[in-house]
Structure 1
Amino acid sequence: MTSRFASVGVAGGGAWGTALALAAARAGRTVTLWARDPAAVEAINARRENPAHLPGVRLDPPLEATTDLARAAAADLVILSTPAQTTRAVAGALAPLMRPDTPLVITAKGFEAGTGLLLADVVAAAAPAARPAVLSGPSFAADVARSLPTAVTIAAADIALAEALARALASPFFRPYASDDVIGVEVGGALKNVLAIASGVVIGRGLGASAQAALIARAFAELMRLAVALGARAETLTGLSGFGDLVLTATSRQSRNFAFGVALGEGGSAAALKEAGPLVEGAKTAPVALAIAARLGIDAPVTAAVAALVEGRAGVDQVIGELLARPLKRETA
C-alpha cells in the first residue's frame, strides 16, 4: 500500500462517486464516501448497496459512507465527484476541513457557467490550499463498479503527483495513466459531452451510421482546435481523455449526453428533457464552450448547433440543414 495515500475520501454519493470509492477500496485504500442523502448512507453501510444509483452492485470490499463531510475531507486524498456546476460550492466546503496540500481530484467534466473557468481553476480559487488534479477518460460508473476493465487519465500540474495518484488508485481492472496536461484532460472531458449530444441527435433523427461517423470525426477536429487554442497538447486529445472518451460517450446509450441527443433527434424539446431527465453536463457546457470559441476565434459549428438546440434557438432540422450547407473546404485546412 502507498502509505502516502492510505486513505481516500470521496465527496459525492452518486453513481460515479460510488464507483470510484469502490475502485479506491479495491486498490487497497481505506475509503470514506460522503453523500447528502441519509437513506443512501444507511443503505451503503447496512446493505452494502447504493440502490438509487448502482442497483444490484455489491459494494465489496467494504467502504464507509457518511453524511459528515469532515470525515471524508480528513483523508490523505479526496475525490470530488459532484456535478460540474457545484464544484465551487463543494470545494469551498471541503477547503477548511482538509489538511494543507491534500490532493483534490476532480471528476466532473465541464466549464463553470458564468466564469467559463475550467474546474481545476475553480478548485484553485475555492480551495487554495489543496492540490488540484483531474480524473477523466472513457469510463461508465457501472463498468467500474462491476470491475470491468477501464483505463482513465489522472492529470496534475506536478507529474510526480499525478503518478502517485495513479499508483494509489490502480488495481487489476482499473488502470490510470498519469499526465501533466491538466488543460488537455479537462477540455477533452468537457467538450466530448457537448459533441456526444450532436451524435445522439444524428441517431435519433435516423440519419444513419455513416452520418454519425462523419459527425464524430468532424467533432473531434473541433474539440482539438478549441483545446489546443486553450493551451492543451494535441497528443493529450488523441488519448484516453480526448478521443477515447469521445468515442465512448458519442456511441452508447449509457451516456446521458448521447441519450439526451437521441431524445432530441426523436422530437423531444430541450427544455422538457432537461427538466425530466438525469444530469446532462453537455447541455450546460455547450453555451459556455461556444462563447469561449467565439472569444478565441475558433470555428465550432457542432458546438454552435448543440448550443442552439439546448437553448431553444433552433430546431433539429434547422441545425442539420445549416451544418450540411456549410461551404466545402479542405479537410485539414
Structure 2
Amino acid sequence: MAKITILGCGFGTALAIMWDKYGHNVTAWSKYQEEIDAIMNDGEHKRLLPGVIVPPTIRLTTDMNCVSDCDILVFAIPSKFVREVAQKVKSYVKKDTIVVNVGKGFEENTDKRLSQVLKEELPDNRIAVLTGPSHAEEIGRNVPTTIVVSSEDEDCMMYLQETLQNDRFRIYRNSDLVGCELGGALKNPIALCCGIVEGMGLGDNTIAALMTRGLAEITRLGVAMGGKRETFDGLSGVGDLIVTCTSSHSRNHRAGLLIGQGIPAAQAVKQVGTVEGYQCAKIAYAIAREHNVQVPIIEQLCEVCYNGQSPLEAVSKLMGRPSKAEEEIF
C-alpha cells in the first residue's frame, strides 16, 4: 500500500475515496478551508459528489506540508493553477516521490503540456499522467473504469500500474506521453462543440459527425506535435472523447448546452465552473496554425466563443467546406 497525497478536492475527492477503499493511506489537500470544513461537516462533497461518503480515514487538510512524506503526489487541479501549486509545494516534495497529473489541458500563455510544467518546477521527480475516460461521479461510486498511465520512465509506469489499479480501476501502460496528454486535452473543445449542437436542438447525426471529424482533428494535430497516431485510437484518445462528448457529467458538455441555447460563451463558462475546453480551444487553434494543421471544428468553436459568431453560422460554415476524401490527412 502507498502513501498518496492528492492536491485538489474536486476529481481528487473521487480518487481519494477509491484509493482509500483499497487500503492506501490517502491525504487530500484543498486551497480552501471552507471546502475542507464542508466535507468534514457533511461527510461528503455535496456539490461535486452528493451522496458519496468521504471516509474519516482520509486526511483532509490545507497544509502544504502534507506532501512531504508521500510516495505518490497527485495533481488534480485545473490546468491554470498547476504551475502555481507546483511552485508552492516544491520545497516540501521528496526527490523519490512520484508526481502524477490527472488534469487535462495546456498552460495558458506558454501552451505547454502539464507534464512539461511539472517537470520544470519539480525537475528531480519522476513525472507521470493518468488519463482516459474517467468521470469523478463514477469513480467515487466505484463504477468499473479503465484508464492509461504514461511516463517517460518505464519503471515508474509499472509501479503506478501495479500500485494504483484494483478490481474496479484498471490501468494500461502507454509510453507515448505526448499523445496521451494531447488526447486528454484536445477532446475538451470537441466535447464543448457536442454540447452546443445538442443545445441547438440538432440530432445524433450531427453529434456523431462532430465526434468523428473531431477525432480526425485531434489526431492530425496530436501527430504534428509529436504524438503517435495509434495513441489517439485508444483510451486516452477516442475513449476519453466518447465519455466527454456524451455525458451530462462533463462540464464541457454542460457549458456547450448553454451556449447552444443562446447564452454567451463566457457567461456559460462562468455558470458551469471550470470548462477546460473553452481555454483549450484558443490554445489548440494557435498551435495548429503554428504547425500548419487544419482544425476547422476548433476554428469555428473559437469564432463562437471569442468573436461572437452564432453557433448556427458555425455549423453552416463547416457544412459548406470544400468537398474532400475522408482519408485525406490534411
Superposition TM-score tier, normalisation by shorter sequence: over 0.9
Give the structure 1 partner of residue 144 of structure 2: 149
The partner residue of 2:4 within 8, 16, 28 is 8
Q: Which runs of 4+ in 1 moved over 4 A?
A: none
SS of structure 2 residue aligned to 1:112: coil
Q: By how many angstroms is 1:131 displaced? A: 1.5
Deviation, 1:275, is: 2.3
CA distance in structure 2 between the aligned counterparts of 1:232 and 1:41, rounded to whole angstroms: 38
Q: TM-score, normalised by structure 1?
A: 0.95
With normalisation by structure 2, the TM-score equals 0.96
**Which residue in the other structure is 1:220 paired with?**
215
Unaligned runs of 5+ in 2: none
Contact preservation (8 Å) 2:199, 2:260: yes
Q: Name the residue aligned to 2:48.
A: 53
Is 1:127 paired with 2:130? no
8 Å CA contact 1:27, 1:170 repeated in 2? no
Aligned to 1:191: 186
Q: What is the CA–CA distance in structure 2 between the aligned matches of 1:254 and 1:52, rounded to whole Å?
A: 13
Q: Does 1:315 align with 2:289?
A: no
Q: Is the 8 Å Cα contact of residues 194 and 285 (structure 1) preserved in structure 2?
A: yes
Shift of 1:70: 1.2
- Two-structure CA RMSD over aligned residues (Å): 1.4
Which amino acid in 2 is paired with 1:119? L
Conserved 8 A contact 1:95-1:129: no
Q: Which moved further from structure 2: 238-247 or 97-106?
A: 97-106
Say if 2:75 and 2:99, in contact at 8 Å, map to a contact too. Answer: yes
Structure 1 segments unaligned to the other structure (5+ residues)? none
1:255 corresponds to which residue?
Answer: 250
Deviation at 1:72, TM superposition (A): 3.2
Q: Relative to 1, partners in 2 of residues 1:228 and 1:78: Cα closer, same or farther, differing over 3 Å?
A: same
1:71 Cα deviation after fit? 1.1
Q: Map residues 196-275 of structure 1 onto 2, 5 A cutoff.
A: 196-275=191-270
Q: Is the deviation greater in 268-277 or in 191-200?
A: 268-277
User: Alpha-carbon deviation of 1:160?
Assistant: 1.9
Say which is worse superposed, 183-192 or 173-182, in terms of deviation.
173-182
Structure-2 separation of matches of 1:48 and 1:210: 43
Contact 2:254 2:272 (8 Å CA) reproduced: no
State how far apart, in whole Å, the 2-side matches of 1:292 and 1:83 are. Answer: 20
Q: Which amino acid aligns with 1:286?
A: A
Write the letter of the residue equivalent to 1:203.
E
- Checking the alignment, whether the CA contact within 8 Å between 2:102 and 2:129 is kept in structure 1 is yes
Check 1:73–1:192 CA distance in 2 against 1; reply closer, same or farther (3 A cut).
Answer: farther
User: Which residue does the alignment assign to 1:115?
Assistant: 110
Q: Retained in 2: the 8 A contact 1:271–1:312? A: no
* Equivalent-residue separation in structure 1 for 2:191 and 2:241 (angstroms): 7
Per the alignment, residue 284 of structure 1 pairs with 279
280-289 or 95-104, which moves further after superposition? 95-104
What do the CA deviations read for 1:264-308 (whole angstroms, capped 9, x no partner)? 111111121122222100001100000000000111001111111
Contact 1:194 1:283 in 2 (8 A): yes
Question: 1:169-200 CA deviation, whole Å, 9 max, x = no partner?
Answer: 11111111122111111100001101101111
Aligned partner of 1:303 in structure 2 is 298
